[in-house]
Amino acid sequence: MTRWEALGRAIVPDDDPAPRVMGIVNATPDSFSDGGKYFQPERAVEHGLRLVEEGADILDVGGESTRPGSDFIPLEEELRRVIPVLERLVGQVSVPVSVDTTKAEVARRALDLGCAMVNDISAGRLDPGMLPLVASRGVPICLMHMKGMPKDMQLDPRYDDVVGEVMDFLRERAEAAVEAGVKRENIVVDPGIGFGKTLQHNLELLRRLEEFKSLGFPILLGTSRKSFIGMILDLPVEERLEGTAASVALGIAAGADIVRVHDVREMVRVARVADASCGKGAPGERIES
């Protein structure tokens, strides 16, 4: 596994390749899963602290919903939502905090406050300042595939070969990041489940996730509570825990290094069992016969 560090703290240490659980903190009024629940800064901070207590290895804080059909919000509004949360949260937790944003200025302010990485769903395409900023700060960045933009990405997504096309995109964006000065060991890739994909596209990406290891970067997988699970089970977002668990276990078996989830306590348990069952992470003495 590629060594991947943030501000001197190894997120995926060489001597411990177990998958990492990234807890989601949505400081938004309209996210698809928990929109409005943690919109007030104090509630978002409390939620982040609770996720760490539940076992999160990383926190991912965002102030802009990217649900299908959503519009991007102005810079000033995103700063108003995110910065008060980061100001109160980063210094209180012992785990790395990521900022989920496509805007370089939001990322800059977050990194100034001690954030350890950037999670950019546009893979650095929307703001030309993002990759140079990340390069200058020497922090990790997650590059995600998205076909189109959130407002239109689910209207009629089409691929000739979804896995091949997503891999080609991520390879190209990783090279763009390297050309901008980002170290290869600071790059992670995300196939973008649910971002410009149909149910069958998402399932194909999950089935063939192991192929993404050939890119040579850690893989972040975000399936938590997403609509493809609802389509399979015919269940609303608040009843997708078991479906999320199944997709997380499959993803870890296929080589996912980081799983981004809402339900941290449960997914930490799922991740540990999946990892141990695959014989990759948990030491044998932890497993009772």
Catalytic residues: 226, 260
Cβ-proximal residues to 159 (8 Å cutoff; 6+ apart), any chain: 147, 165, 166, 201
Say which residue the tokens 């972040």 belong to.
220
Tokens of 76: 């000033």
Identity of the residue numbered 224: S
Q: Is 221 helix (H, G, I), strand (E, B) or coil?
A: strand
Per-residue DSSP letters for 10-55? EEE-TT--PPEEEEEEE--S--TTTTTTT-SHHHHHHHHHHHHHTT
**3-state secondary structure string across 78-143:** HHHHHHHHHHHHHHHCCCCEEEECCCHHHHHHHHHCCCCEEEECCCCCCCCCHHHHHHHHCCCEEE
Say which residue the tokens 């449960």 belong to.
266
Phi, psi of 11 (to 5 degrees): -80, -40
